Chains A and B, each alone.
Chain A
Amino acid sequence: MFHRESGVFKTSYVADMAVYPLPIAKWTVAALTALFAVVVPLAMSEYYLSILNLILIAVVGALGLNILVGYTGQISIGHGALMSVGAYTAANLITRLHAPFWLALPAGGAMAAAIGTVIGIPSLRIKGLYLAIATLAGQLIIEWTINHVPWISGGVQASIEVPRPTFLGTQLRTQTQLYLFLLFFAAVAIVGTINLARSRVGRAFIAIRDQDIAAEIIGIDIFRYKLLAFALSSFYAGVTGVLYTYYLGVANYEQFQINVSIDYLAMIIIGGLGSVLGSILGAIFVILLPIATRWLLEGLGGLFLSSADLANIIPNLRLVMFGALIVIFLALEPEGLSRLWRNIVAYFRVWPFSY
C-alpha cells in the first residue's frame, strides 16, 4: 500500500459500490497506468519485457477462468482447449481473410464463447468433480477435432503461421511494441472483470457460487447465468489464445494441451479464487517463479557445483522448489496470495497501534 486510508465512512449504497473509495485511489491508478504504459517499456530490456508479455497473456486467461471457477463456482478443465479454439479461429480469419486484429480478437473470443457454452451445458445438471470430468471431455474432443480436421488446423502439422498484428500501418514486432499491445488487452480484461464483479451479473454469479438453490429462490435464472458464466469465461480464454497466437506468430494445438488447463487452474487457486488481484498474482507466481528460482539457483549453484552437474540439478531442483513453494503458500494462507496480501494490508492499516 502506498497510501494510508482514513475517514472512509460510507453512508449510501452508491458510495459503497464506487470503484474509487478515496480520491487518492484514483491517483494511484493513474500513477500505475503511467508506470506500466510509459516507464516500464522505456526502462526495461527486451528480455524482461518478454517475461512480462507472457505474464500479461496469462493474466487474461487466469481472469477468465476465475470468472467461472472463482465467481460462479463451476469448474472447467477444458480452458486450454478453448484457448486453441480462439487461436485457430483467429489464425484462419487472419490467413484466409486477412482480418485485422480488432476483428480477429473478438471473433476468436466469440467462437470460444460459443463452444464454451456448449461445454457448459452439463453444468446445469452436475457439479463439482462430475463437471470437471465433463469439461475434461470437452478438452479432449476439441483437441482431437483440431488435430484431425485439416480445414481447421491448416494441414498435417496442425499449425498455422500468422503475421504479427498491424496497428496504424506498423507491424508490431519488437517486445516493446508487443508489450504495449498486450498491456492494452490485459488492462481491458482487468477493468472488465472488476466491473463485472460489481454488476448485477457478477452478483448473480456469486449468489450461484454460494448456494445455487437459494439463488434460484431469490429469482436468479440459473440456466441463463451458468451458461453466461461459461460464455464469458470462454470468451476470455479465446482472447488469450488469440493473443498467444499473435505473440508467437503461430497457432499450434500442442501449445494448448491439458497441462495448460491445469496450469491456469493452479494460477487461480494459488492466487485466490474469486479475486481479480488473485488472478494477477497467480499468473505472476506461476510464470515467474520457475524463472526466478532458476536465477537464484544459477547464482548460488555456480559456487558449489560443476557445470555438468548444475545443468542436471537446476531443472529438477526447480521443480521441487516450485512444488514446495506452492504447498508453503497454500498452507500459509489457503485462500491464496490475494488473501495473504489483504492480511498484510490489514496489519499495516492499523500499525503501530494494533488495537
Chain B
Amino acid sequence: MTRMTTGTLALAAVAAALAWMAGSAPAQQKEVVIGEQCDRTGATQIVGVILCPGIMDYINLINSKGGVEGYRIRLVEIDHEYKVPPAIEAYERHKAEGAVSIMLYGTPQTQALTQKLNEDKIPGTSPGFGTSAAANGTRYPYIFPVAASYWSQGAAAIKFIKDRLGGNLEGKRIAYLFYDNPAGREPMVILEDLRKIEKFELKTFAVPPPGVELGAQVLDITQRLRPDFVISHLFGRSPSLAMKELKRAGYPLSKVVGLVWASAEADVQAAGGWSVAEGYHTVQFAGVGDDYPARQEIVAMYKAQGKGPPKEMQSTVYYNRGLLIGALHVEAVRNAIKARGGEKPTGEDVKKGFEAIHGLTLGGLVPPLELSASDHEGGGWVQIFQAKGGKFVKETDWFRAYQEVLAKQLKAE
C-alpha cells in the first residue's frame, strides 16, 4: 500500500509534466537557449530583484536588435530561493531545454553544480560567487567567475588603501571586518600575504551570521584599534548596519572600503541614506552609474514600447552587474556561432567562446577582460567608487594589484 501511493503520485506528476512540455513546444526561428538562475525570494533577494531584470533587459535589447548572428536568444529564468535542491532542478531543466550556457547564482549553488557542468560540458558563470580558485580554468574548465574574485578584490583594496595613505603601508593599522562564513574568510590568505610584504598591521573582526550584531566589533575597531583604514566584507543586511554603526561611533566612512557585496545603493538606503554613507568607498566589478550606452539603449527600447524605464534601473550597481553578465554570455555565444561558421553552438563551443572574449567594453561598463583557457577570471579588474553627494562617484579607473601574490596563491590551491 505504502509504495503503491508513491507510484500513483509519481505517475500523476509525470503525466502532468509531460502534458505541460507538449503544450509549450516552441515553433520559432533559430534560437539559442541560455539558462539563468536567480534568487528573487530567498536570502539574497535584495540583489536578485535588481540583477536579474538587468540580465533580462539586456537579452531583450539584443533580441530587439535582431539577436546574435541571426539567432534569437531565449533566456530561461528559474528562481531557486537561494536553496540548493531547487538549483539542481533548475539546472536539469535548463539542460533539458538545451541551454548552451548557465548564469549561476549563489555560492553553494555554484559549488553544487560545478561537477555537473563539467560532466555535461556546459559553461556556467559565477561572478562574485563560488571560490577564488575557480579562476584556474585548467582545474575548473566549465566554471567562469568572469569577475574579480575575493582574492583580487582584497588585493585591490590594499593597493587602494596604500595609495590613499601616501604610498607606504609600513606600520599602518588595517582592520578587516568580515562575515564569518567561507566567502567572508576567503580574502584572508591574500591579506595575510600582503601584510608580510607591505608590513602593515592587520586585525580581523568576524561578524557571526546572520550579521546583524556587530556593535561590539565596531566598538573594538573604533575605540581600541583606531585603524588607518577598514576593509568591510559583509553580505545582506550587515553592510548597511556596519555603515550605520561606524558612523555612530564617529569613525569617518571615508576610511572604509567595502568589497563587492557591501557596495550597492540598497545598502546605502538601508543605512539611512546618502548623508550617512557620505565618503564610503566601494569596490566594483562592473561600472556604476547611468553613463553607459547600453543603459541608454534599454531606455530607448522601453520608450519604443511606450513604457518608461523600469524602476530597477535606478539601482545602478546590481542592475549594471546584470548587464555585464548578460553581455558576457551574448559575447560568448557570438564567438561560438562565429567559430562554428553560423551553425548552432554547443556548450563546448560556448566555453571556447567565453575563452575568446577580449576587447568587450560596453562603453566602460565591462572591465578590460582577457579570458583564456587557463584564466577564467579575466584579469581581476576592479574600479573603486565613493559615495558622494547622493550617488557613487568614480575614484579610480579599472585596475588590479599584486598579480604575483595572487598567482602564487592560485598555484598553491
Contacts and interface: CB of A to CB of B under 8 A. Distances in A.
Interface of A: 1-2, 25, 28-29, 32, 35-36, 40, 44-48, 50-52, 54, 58, 147, 156-159, 161, 164, 173, 175, 190, 194, 248-250, 252-255, 259, 276-277, 280-281, 284, 287-288, 290-292, 294-295, 298-299, 302, 307-308, 311-312, 314-316, 318-319, 341, 345
B2 A276 contact: yes
Interface string B76-93: 011101011110110011
A341 B325 CA distance: 48
A46 B89 contact: no
B337 to A, nearest CB: 23
Nearest to B150: A156
B111 A250 contact: yes
B4 A287 contact: no
A295 B17 contact: yes
B249 interface: no
Interface string B110-149: 0111111001000000000001010000000000000000
A284 B2 CA distance: 13
A280 B115 contact: no
Contacts of A253: 182
A3 to B, nearest CB: 9
A284 B108 contact: no
Contacts of B112: 248, 250, 252, 255
Interface in B1-59: 1-7, 9-10, 13-14, 16-17, 20, 23-24, 38, 40-41, 49, 52-53, 56-57
A47 B23 CA distance: 17
B96 interface: yes
Interface string B159-202: 00000000000000000000011100110110000000000000
B93 A32 contact: no
| B interface, size bucket | 35 or more
11 contacts: A54-B89, A161-B114, A252-B112, A259-B83, A281-B9, A284-B10, A291-B86, A298-B24, A312-B53, A315-B40, A315-B41
Contacts of B189: 156
A292 B95 CA distance: 18
Nearest to B86: A290
Interface in B373-388: none
Secondary structure at chain B's binding surface: helix, strand, loop or mixed?
A: helix
A319 B40 CA distance: 11
B310 interface: yes
Given A157-B186, A159-B182, A250-B111, A35 B52 contact: no
Given A58-B85, A158-B181, 16 more contacts: A48-B14, A54-B89, A156-B186, A157-B111, A157-B182, A194-B2, A248-B88, A248-B116, A276-B2, A277-B1, A277-B2, A284-B10, A295-B17, A307-B56, A311-B79, A312-B49
A18 to B, nearest CB: 13
Q: For B83, B92, B119, which residue has the most chain A Cβ atoms within 10 angstroms?
A: B92
Nearest to A279: B2
A278 B125 CA distance: 39
A287 B53 contact: no
Nearest to A315: B79
A48 B2 contact: no
B107 interface: yes
B307 to A, nearest CB: 10
B111 A25 contact: no
B2 A252 contact: no
A48 B93 CA distance: 9
A147 B2 contact: no
